[in-house]
Chain A
Amino acid sequence: MIQQIDYFVIAPSLVLALVAGLVLLLDAFLPARPRTQTGLGLVTLAGVLLSLGFVVAQAVRGGPALSTFCVPPGTSPCSYVVDRFTLAFAGLVLVAAVVVVLLSMTELAGGGIPVGEWHFLLLCTLVGAVTLPASRDLVMLVVALELVSLPVFALTALKRYDGRASEAAVKLFVVSVVSTAIMLFGVSLLYGVTGSVYLSRLSAVLAGQAPPPGLPADALPAVVTVGVVLVVAGFAFKIAAVPFHSWAADVYQGAPVPVAALLSVISKAAGFAGLILVLVSGLSGQAGTWAPIMGILAALTMTAGNLLALRQRSAVRLLAWSSVAQSGYILAPLAAGTAEAAGASTAYLIIYAAMNLGAFAVVMLVSRVSARNELDDYRGLAFRRPAAGIALAFCLICLAGLPPGLAGLFAKVFVFREIVAAGSGWLALVMAVNTVIGLYYYALWTARLFAPATGAAAPAGRHVATSLAVGLALAAAVLFSVAPQLVLDMTLLSATG
């Protein structure tokens, strides 16, 4: 049997993979000069933009969902499906990737990091992150998720001879490997029960529409619950949900800032894409099992993240814990257990990506001037560099979820609405209190931006790439503030594929 591959469908991942190879070759054969470094960055950027172009082309095309790698050919089930869910996540990942590549250009200009390897690894991660939301079978999901995770260890450790970076890489590696092992165990249990790795088949069997192999239709063994819990636990590691959150701060702080941004947005988006796919597409029949778990997980995650963020002095650590808290908000709608609610998660994730990347981009700018990057280094930033200061202020207020940061406010409203509609009043109250706790540290940081500076300010360098990154993220955040309907259009009912 010959597999027919629809290359247009897999073009976004394919382009990224080819460019990754190209970057490695160019790095090997071109002379090592500063100009080459910039050139490699630009090639990477071009690759990401080309891939984004294919995603846009797929989105503009409309019509029914595209699919390939189907067994038997031409019919379902398929392993690779491009529907609105896939497009929303691929678009999110690639736009975030543009910001991360721009940030890396500033980071790499500092020297000390091999440029070719960096871009190669970055592109490999992106291949995984673009493939993952399109995956519709468990094996492909696991492979794609590993493709997202593995290059990130290396990226974290690329700052050689840096103790913190090595520590961060080892931590990330151990946590990730353990989580993969747990998830694989869960996956194998699910496969054993249902006899299929395809999410659609899985869903049919677990919902009682098709009989599990060797059993009557409505006699699912109890081991299904174990499988569900283990798979959820595996993903909880990736998105830094409680109780698997403790790696976040150390890894974010040890890694270079662009990698931290990548972890907090792209890697997290991939984790959520996988989680939503598995839960909503594959395990929808078991919502009674996982929806309460998601609710408890969400409540714990947002509370722990916010409480830990309260006492942080380092900007990156604060963002690390705040992004754990934000993970909690993204998880919360899943407690409703429906596809519509998962749409709210996706919407929150997209808005979160814009505002969090904006914050990281400004943190990157400041990290060039003050290496320690503590919150007190931000005093008076709004007067030293008005554009950066105001951009950061806007992003932080967005993260806190207050006007004028309407994007963040509406994102929270999306989530609240799903929780209230699902009748989980307790979760809504927990989230309400958490919003207030979160405001405390965001507001104090924002106030620092406008406080008079203490001590002499270091001269501010010009970093065109990072300024572009700030502008891009800020533009997205402002756009989502004015027209949040855009996000809803992208995500509405998108998780049903």
Chain B
Amino acid sequence: MMGWLPVALLAVPLTGAILLLLAPHALRHVIRTYGVVVSGVTFALSVLLAATFDHGAAARMQFEVDRPWIPGLGLRFHLGVDGISLPLVVLTALLTFLCFVYLCWRGGRSPDQLMGDKPRELVFTLLVLEVGMVGTFLALDLLLFFVFFEIVLIPMYFLIGTWGGKGRRAASIKFILYTLLGSVVMLLGLLIIWAQTGTLDIEALSASHGAGMSRSVQILAFVAIGVGLAVKTPMWPVHTWLPDAHTEAPTVGSVLLAGVLLKMGTYGFARIAIPVLPEGAIAVAPWLGAFAVVGIVYGALACLAQRDLKRLIAYSSIGHMGFVLLGFATLTPVGVNGALFANVAHGLITGLLFFLAGAIKVRYPGSDMPSMGGGLLATMPRLGSVLTFASIASLGLPGLAGFWGEMLALYGAFQPADVLPRGLFLTYMVIGGLGAVLTAAYFVLMLSRVTHGRPRAEQPRDESAPADDRLVRAAPDERPVVPLRSPHSVRALLGPPPSRAELTADIQGHELVAWTPLVVLILLFGLWPGLLLSLTTPPVLTLLGALP
């Protein structure tokens, strides 16, 4: 009935991008409004999608479109939305829209905003990226899913490689090679499924719960698909592209990378790997859980050692994604629900955190924490407050969005599916819980370095090492040593001194507009988790139907 809606969600950003390619000069003067309007219309469509979605039947695919595209390949243009994909579609449209708002608000001339370098190309890249991201969550055909999964690679490569920081070239090439290797292996897994069952339709495949595939084929396909998804997620030990990509990416790139791109990997587990290959999932789940908890602990420990704010948030993503994977590995409705919840919550919270890191990077050249010197709450109280809020949301304070997902994932590990070894998963739960404590530790430590303490500029010389700063100084420093006695030379080393107004400016208009919705949603989902869980529970129960 409303089949045009998913198509429109893809067509609007795509048309926007193509128009930009065809008539670059006509749109030059309205480029800021243009980006905001196109992504705004997409977001409005996604809100319309959520509003007209039949919440009573969240397990059913709705708004379906099913047209043959390449009959020779059995590839159909099959789109649809259910309770699992709906939140992610809205999240994608929202984050893209907020990125455009952030880039374009009020002239867009701040250093982190649109008008700095090649604005048209940036708008084009982001719109193509949006097509790929939304399409991945809408696709109901294995190959179509793969096509959309791949679409994001090139725009992200250019986003990092063109608008990124100093090491952008290496980071962008590492990103694209790593993720392509993963997705080619995933393609092989998808083709194994196709060769065995003769269909590419995700709905039909998940309804048949792996019928027609022997156990060994399922395991093989699950491993192949899992590798591809794990690279994107990223799962330890194939995560190494992520910190570099995040550190070098521009703010909006980091936000979309953490907020949406990582979700494509985890979404693949919920949409394809687990429902289509249930026996493979049972066989591989203990391994998946093991990698997940290693990721949780590894991410937390790596965070403790970071000096760079963006790198710290990147490693924290690895930890959070570990919780998501642990939730999937339990193969229980509770665990999978928790994973899907943590997925969305991580998108909101880490999106906000990367926005904040970008804002701090503008104010303090380099996001190196020790050289910032702390005292953010004193110099920029609002920015400091939002950073504190986002950090405690990320460490999983009850009442905020970050809590429920991780709690449910751990609870799922407490009582995993009957076919899984319970003792092993109890161990995972304990290790995961330990990781949660470590997560709290590094966020508190980060806050103590950045927001607390006295601001460096007003710091008397002999009190240059307050007690809460000690760990920072203990961290290995590879830079040439700057004499601590002359705070001015620190600035000189780090680049041209920013103007007084710029340094002291608290949250600015574009930042406020972009961040407020995220803050509101984090609070909303934290206080009312049922809003999201009621959407995901019915489809999860259906998808897990085949499991004993």
Contact = CB atoms under 8 A, between A and B. Distances in A.
Interface of A: 386, 390, 397, 402-404, 406, 409-410, 413-414, 416-417, 420-421, 425, 428-429, 432-433, 435-436, 439-440, 443-444, 447, 450, 484-485, 488-489, 492
B70 interface: yes
B476 to A, nearest CB: 32
A349 to B, nearest CB: 16
A488 B421 CA distance: 48
Contacts of A444: 173
Contacts of B195: 417, 420-421
B184 A414 contact: no
B150 interface: yes
A488 B73 CA distance: 8
Interface in B184-203: 184-185, 187-188, 191-192, 194-195
B177 A440 contact: yes
Contacts of B176: 439, 443
A428 B121 CA distance: 36
A433 B178 CA distance: 11
Interface of B: 21, 24, 69-73, 121, 128, 132, 143, 147-148, 150-151, 153-154, 157-158, 161-162, 169, 172-173, 176-177, 180-181, 184-185, 187-188, 191-192, 194-195
Contact residues of A: prevailing secondary structure? helix
A403 B154 contact: yes
B70 A488 contact: yes
Nearest to A429: B188
Contact of A489 (B72, B173, B184, B187): B72
Contacts of A417: 73, 191, 194-195
Nearest to B155: A404
B223 to A, nearest CB: 12
A442 B283 CA distance: 38
B180 A435 contact: yes
Contacts of B192: 420
A436 B24 CA distance: 32
Contacts of A440: 173, 177
Contact of A390 (B21, B151, B181): B21
Q: Taking each of B21, B169, B172, B195, which has the highest tally of chain A beta carbons within 10 Å of its own beta carbon?
A: B195
Contacts of B148: 403
B71 to A, nearest CB: 6
Q: Which 8 pairs across A and B sit closest by C-beta, in order of nearness?
A: A488-B72, A432-B184, A403-B151, A420-B191, A436-B181, A485-B70, A421-B195, A403-B150
A380 to B, nearest CB: 12
A304 to B, nearest CB: 19
B121 to A, nearest CB: 8
B147 A406 contact: yes
Given A403-B150, A410-B73, A492-B72, A416 B188 contact: yes
B70 A410 contact: yes
A433 B157 CA distance: 19
Contact of B187 (A397, A413, A421, A485): A413
A485 B72 contact: yes
Contacts of B154: 397, 402-404
B184 A402 contact: no
Contact of A443 (B157, B162, B185, B194): B157
Contacts of B143: 413
Given A410-B70, A429-B188, A450-B162, 18 more contacts: A397-B154, A403-B147, A403-B153, A403-B154, A404-B151, A404-B154, A417-B191, A420-B194, A421-B191, A432-B187, A435-B180, A436-B184, A439-B177, A447-B157, A447-B161, A484-B70, A484-B72, A492-B72
Contact of A432 (B121, B157, B181): B181
A192 B365 CA distance: 80
B150 A402 contact: yes
Contacts of B71: 485, 488
Contact of A436 (B162, B180, B194): B180
Contacts of B158: 447, 450
A417 B188 CA distance: 8
A443 B162 CA distance: 13
Given A409-B150, A420-B191, A428-B188, A439 B132 contact: no
A191 to B, nearest CB: 37
A402 B192 CA distance: 20
B247 to A, nearest CB: 19
A447 B171 CA distance: 13
24 contacts: A397-B154, A402-B150, A402-B154, A402-B180, A403-B150, A404-B151, A406-B147, A413-B73, A416-B191, A420-B191, A420-B192, A425-B188, A429-B185, A433-B181, A433-B184, A439-B177, A443-B176, A447-B161, A450-B121, A485-B70, A485-B73, A488-B73, A489-B72, A492-B72
A413 to B, nearest CB: 7
